[in-house]
Amino acid sequence: MTTALAVPLAARRAADDLAAVREQWGDLLAAIERRPAAQWPPREARGFLDQLSTDDRAEDDEQPAARVGRMPLILREHPAPLNLDALDAALAAERDLFDLADALAEQVQRPIRTGRDAHGRYTQDQADATDPARWHYQAQTSPGSRAYGLHWAAVWVEGRLLGEDPGDLFRAVPPLLLEHATKTAARARRHVERALGRDGRTTTLDDPCPWCAGPLTGRTRAGGEPLVTCSTGRACGAPVLVDDRGRRAWRGAELIGLFVALDAARNREE
């Protein structure tokens, strides 16, 4: 069994990137079916408001979170996608990870065992051929392991990079292939987070702070939740804590209160 100390730092970094891709894949597939939003915060953050308003409906109404929970994790054909950037990012990430899995299987996966039947003919070991731990290549008559989508490809690639379940089916990843895998995983993560607006951008919001009229700044973090801060500082009366720079800061569920207050301020002005 491979010990934690034996795993190269590059493999750990790639595993983190692959995990980030998996965790955000459902959001990206959902974004394909939504028109891109020009405003900040990112559309998925504004989903908090949608959830809040839905809570006031009849109890038998379907909740947004439930719809997301049942969202398929396999990229399907979209005859009329509403967000081409999200679709392009999904296709690029999927292509990169599928090709990476093929390359890893070619170099580190043991060929299927063969033997001779009673007539002396060579035959494949069917148990070995259908081993679920194997990566199966795409063929003219079958999509192979690609049929299970990017999520499975990311899990399988991560397992190879971290040396999981070595047995006699897999050998260690060569250094040059590990370097290629690290770059590929990082690129896939960039594709996903850029399309979702989670690539560390900073935006000055059009609306002022509802409590002190100070400028509001929105920030996204790679793999993290959005954050809004008020530049007024501690003098701002917003009911949230200050950050390490002395600014009122909204994050996570606290953003709900900010979004509601911003909408209320807009309605008063109309």
- Which letter does DSSP use for residue 39 in this model? S
Crossing angle for the helix pair 9-32 and 84-108, to the nearest 10 degrees: 140
Q: H-type helices in the chain, by residue range?
A: 9-32, 43-54, 64-69, 84-108, 126-129, 149-161, 175-195, 254-269
* pTM for the predicted model, two decimal places: 0.71
Please give the structure tokens belonging to residue 140.
Answer: 């003219």
pLDDT value for 38: 56
Closest CA to 44 of 30, 56, 55, 58: 30
pLDDT value for 47: 46
pLDDT value for 41: 57
pLDDT value for 43: 53
**Contact status, residue 256 vs residue 48, Cβ threshold 8 Å:** yes
pLDDT value for 63: 37
For the chain, the domains span 4-116+124-195, 202-269
| Residues of the chain where predicted confidence (pLDDT) is lower than 70 | 1-5, 37-73, 77-79, 116-120, 166, 221-224, 270
List pLDDT tens digits, range 34-59: 887 655 655 554 444 444 444 444 44
pLDDT value for 68: 37
Q: Which amino acid is at 33?
A: E
Closest CA to 203 of 94, 41, 66, 43: 41
**Contact status, residue 75 vs residue 90, Cβ threshold 8 Å:** yes
Distant-in-sequence contacts of 234-239, Cβ < 8 A, 24+ apart: 236/209, 236/211, 236/212, 237/211, 237/212, 238/209, 238/210, 238/211, 238/212
Closest CA to 63 of 52, 76, 78, 74: 52
Place of tokens 């051929």: 129
